[in-house]
Amino acid sequence: MRYRLPVSLLIIGCLLGPLASAEPFSIEHLVRLDRVGAPNVSPDGDRVVYTLRKTDMAANKGRSDLWVSAIDGKSTQQLTSHEANDSDPTWSADGKHVYFLSSRNDSSQVWRIKPGGGKATQVTDLPIDVGTYRLTAKGDRLVVSLEVFPDCDDLDCTASRNKALEESPTTGAIYDQLFMRHWDHWLSDKRSRLFALPLKGGVASGKEPLLLSGAIDADVPSRVWGGNEEYAISADGSRVYFTARIRDRDEPSSTNFDLYSAPMNGDGPTINLTESNPAWDTQPVLSPDGNSLAYLSMERAGFEADRFRVMLRNLETGKTRELAADWDHSPSSIVFSHDGKSLYANAQDVGNKTLWQIDVTTGSTQKLVDHGNVSAIDTSANGLVFAKDDLKNPSELFVLAGDGSAARQLTHFSVPQMRGVEVGDYEQFSFTGAKGETVYGYVVKPVGLQKDKQYPIAFLIHGGPQGSFGNHFHYRWNPQTYAGEGFAAVFIDFHGSTGYGQDFTDSISGDWGGNPLVDLQLGLKAALEKYDFLNGEKVCALGASYGGYMINWIAGNWPERFDCLVNHDGVFDSRSMYYTTEELWFPEWEHGGPYYANPQAYEKHNPVNFVDRWKTPMMVIHGELDYRVPVTQGIAAFTALQRRGIASRFLYFPDENHWVLKPENSIQWHNEVNRWLHGYLN
């Protein structure tokens, strides 16, 4: 048994200096790491505000506060310290205050605080929770998103109906169309809508906020993960631009988000700016001069993993053009440079998520950061500030000045937490995969790697399926937790993965169990040939979501290869999956229509059809609140294993969704999975 120092001793060691001998990285370290949020740079470019999430193990949840750092790195200060969550910081136009969302007083409202610290003051005091917000450039108005009943004339009506529902002795809900539930929420008749509030002295005034997005029947931001990146306010404060998908009977099978423009004073029509595009338009961003609107746009309706193109619209003429049409990348986000001459974007790129500059005039592109995972960006006159992590290092903030110098690390919150903790080195490798094409993968070496010794393998399979297990310090599926257990982690970006061009991503649709399986087979073979420390006789495969599907597929189509399998939230039966999932556009695109219209496509790579070949021990894990891949898929897989007499175990979480988010549950997940792996690999 590996001996681990108590956390209290680790903390003392961090304060006094490095421990005499390093301790392997573990799930206990992972769940306790501080997490740095997205940067927001002050108007003068001298400071950046961000959130820092700490894990409250006693409360079994994360809690975030606001911090401010000088761009030159000379000072860092904690702004808020409250038992509630403080999040989403934004600078006032004059830089004299930081606005933020807080759940203080048991209600999510907008607050503000001076950047030098002091007592926070409440900005909004509405009878229902504020979901998101944005400030106008002049600082005279606030736009907020609120969940309201569409037939209510004021917020008090919604608040009263909320209370009546909570106190009602009946619990039945009526639905007349699909999208009854989404990811982990049962949905209601309420809509998330945008409202405007005047600010006087920095505090909201007026009896009732003005409804802005009520002209269309849609949720703004979109449910359930949309944020304020889905709307923007014009430079003069006269209009709000937002993305929305109409809430009708087609919503479960539609990816058609359009961009709308609505007057801030409520006087005038709401205009659909992208009506001609039946696919996804999102993330409106205004140029500094207010004359142009940049946004991300897909071309193919019904396909959520299409390439996001970068579009630029002249707000005066309405003329729209695509920037960098030949740039075969799909940005996650975009932001204008301080002078408006460029856009900055982060995009998955051959196993990394890199940072790019796009010239607004010519559309030419330049890669600025080519390593690791760039997750958030903001700009200023003093340079770019961005969040970045990689397979060995948790996310921190970096500054990239405009003088051509290398990026400089601004925050170092993980340094004391990682002192005395050893992680595994990693390498990217490539091989000839399916169709004779180059495919990439990574190996993370076990902690304490010794020469002339071989190590068992944790073979990780990513979800999506249009996703990637790349150069990223993940807070759930982190390869370092396996390296710390004495395993080598190997993972392959098979055909269908993102970051290798859109054709590569497209190739998995209709071929879930075909070339991706070939890539996994050839990738494991290539890794074993390249790295002498890998023990090919001791290998377990693990995956979640599509990765869990692939575990079920491997059980019947590569049954002799692995010592054990771990299937988290995986699809077991494509037929029942279609009829019980919620986002119908996804299976209908991947398998060429509804099940009843094209059953042969669903059955071609359906794991349930190969249960008679199953023989590998499998651990199945599922959460009750997973409505993307319902829990019955996991129960069905476990039933098949048990009835066939195959060694198996079922780990069930009644309070988790498609992911395991609670710290104690995450520790339990890893401990049970590691126990399963050690039982077959040691």
**pLDDT surpasses 60 at 223:** yes
What pLDDT sits at residue 17?
40
Report the 3 state secondary structure along 570-619. Answer: CCCCHHHHHHHCCCCHHHHHHCCCCCCCCHHHHHHCCHHHHHHHCCCCEE
The residue count of the chain comes to: 682
| CA dist., res. 201 & res. 307, Å (int) | 44
Encoded amino acid at 518, one letter:
V
Q: What are phi and psi of 134, to 5 degrees?
A: -145, 150
**What DSSP character marks residue 407?**
P
**What DSSP character marks residue 414?**
H
Helices (H) and strands (E) counted in the chain, each on its own, are 13, 42
**pLDDT surpasses 50 at 9:** no
pTM: 0.94
Report the 3 state secondary structure along 120-145. Answer: CEECCCCCCCCCEEEECCCCCEEEEE
CATH 3.40.50.1820: does it fit domain 423-468+478-681?
yes
**pLDDT surpasses 60 at 608:** yes
What pLDDT sits at residue 2?
32
> Are 631 and 647 in contact, with CB atoms under 8 Å apart?
no
Residues 6+ apart with CB under 8 A from 406: none
Token pair listed for 655: 């309070």
What pLDDT sits at residue 15?
36
| CA dist., res. 245 & res. 478, Å (int) | 34
The per-residue DSSP string of 620-663 comes to EEEETT--SS-HHHHHHHHHHHHHTT--EEEEEETT--SS--SH
Each as own residue / partner, the long-range contacts of residues 288-293 (CB below 8 Å, 24 or more positions apart, any chain) are 288/235, 288/336, 288/338, 288/339, 288/340, 289/235, 289/340, 290/234, 290/235, 290/236, 290/315, 291/315, 291/316, 292/340, 292/360, 293/232, 293/241, 293/259
Q: What are phi and psi of 438, to 5 degrees?
A: -75, 130
Per-residue pLDDT band for 225 (boundaries 50, 70, 90) equals confident
Alpha carbon of 112 to those of 11, 43, 47, 95: distances in Å? Answer: 33, 16, 16, 12
**pLDDT surpasses 80 at 105:** yes
Q: At which residue do the structure tokens 């995972």 appear?
A: 373
Which 3 state secondary structure label does DSSP give 669?
A: helix
Alpha carbon of 650 to those of 35, 128, 553, 638, 672: distances in Å? Answer: 31, 40, 18, 7, 10
What pLDDT sits at residue 5?
30
* Domain boundaries along the sequence of the chain: 423-468+478-681
Which 3 state secondary structure label does DSSP give 192?
A: strand
Tell me the chain's radius of gyration from C-alpha atoms. 25
Over residues 444-448, mean pLDDT: 97
Token pair listed for 265: 């004073």
Reported as a single tens digit per residue, the pLDDT across 271-298 is: 999 999 999 999 999 999 999 999 999 9
What pLDDT sits at residue 402?
77
Reported as a single tens digit per residue, the pLDDT across 303-340 is: 999 999 999 999 999 999 999 999 999 999 999 999 99
Count the Cβ atoms, other than its own, within 10 Å of residue 361: 9
Token pair listed for 245: 């998908």
Mean pLDDT, the chain, rounded, equals 95
Range of weakest confidence among 12-21, 46-55, 373-382, 498-507: 12-21
What pLDDT sits at residue 25?
97
Alpha carbon of 414 to those of 52, 399, 410, 491, 661: distances in Å? Answer: 11, 17, 12, 25, 20
Per-residue pLDDT band for 169 (boundaries 50, 70, 90) equals very high
Alpha carbon of 282 to those of 255, 296, 338: distances in Å? Answer: 11, 5, 21
- Please choose, from the candidates 37, 38, 45, 39, the residue with its C-alpha nearest in 3D space to the C-alpha of residue 288: 45
**pLDDT surpasses 70 at 533:** yes
**pLDDT surpasses 50 at 482:** yes
What pLDDT sits at residue 403?
72
Alpha carbon of 267 to those of 233, 375, 669: distances in Å? Answer: 16, 38, 54
**pLDDT surpasses 90 at 22:** no
| CA dist., res. 107 & res. 421, Å (int) | 39
Reported as a single tens digit per residue, the pLDDT across 46-90 is: 999 999 999 999 999 999 999 999 999 999 999 999 999 999 999
